Chain A
Amino acid sequence: IQLTQSPSFLSASVGDRVTITCRASRAISSYLAWYQQKPGKAPKLLIYAASTLQSGVPSRFSGSGSGTEFTLTISSLQPEDFATYYCQQVNSYPPFGQGTRLEIK
């Protein structure tokens, strides 16, 4: 099962609402997670089970979807949100999407 993220690159401003999409080549129910990675740092788990927020993650992050299409939404971008985001399928390999780089406009 392949995961394809779109867009691969996104330019946005502080305060914007942004959505990143992850599409699976076959249905994966809700077995999807999202990670945030900043340059030079390890990834950070944001969301699992497609929509469950990991403890400590700000509520401006949300996830939705099931089957083959999933979205990560940031309701109001903050300066610290500019990073690369990866989706991950939990129960199949290879697990990660190719990433979406979110940069400041």
Chain B
Amino acid sequence: EVQLVESGGGLVKPGGSLILSCAASGFTFSSYSMNWVRQAPGKGLEWVSSISSSTSFKYYADSVKGRFTISRDNAKNSLYLQMNSLRAEDTAVYYCARDPGHYGDYGVLFDYWGQGTLVTVSS
């Protein structure tokens, strides 16, 4: 059974940093691109970042570019999101999500999602 379990969320002051983790199990983690998607309270879904299976390619939403860094450790079946210079508008539930690879390098889909971890940026 595919499982994705996020951790690392919490309360942080504006300008602060946080690292989110996503532990994957039930599939060959190293074969799949992975993603972070967030959802502000009461709002819709916002894609944040993607990383290819081999870490060769990393993509970021304009809203987080230069502040967030996505990474993965295939030996540990884990995905990470380093978040720096956090702002109030980064407050959201952060989900990690697997890309099944139907579209290869030409698109991204999200077939399995974790339960999410809440990040609150407030003084």
Residues of A within 8 A of B (CB): 31, 33, 35, 37, 41-45, 48-49, 54, 86, 88, 90-91, 93-99
Contacts and interface: CB of A to CB of B under 8 A. Distances in A.
Contacts of B116: 42
A90 B47 contact: no
B1 interface: no
22 contacts: A33-B109, A33-B110, A35-B45, A35-B110, A37-B45, A42-B95, A43-B45, A43-B95, A43-B110, A43-B113, A45-B109, A48-B102, A49-B102, A88-B110, A90-B108, A91-B108, A93-B47, A94-B46, A96-B46, A96-B47, A97-B44, A99-B44
Say what secondary structure dominates the interface of chain B: loop
Given A90-B107, A90-B108, A42 B113 contact: yes
Contacts of A42: 95, 97, 113-116
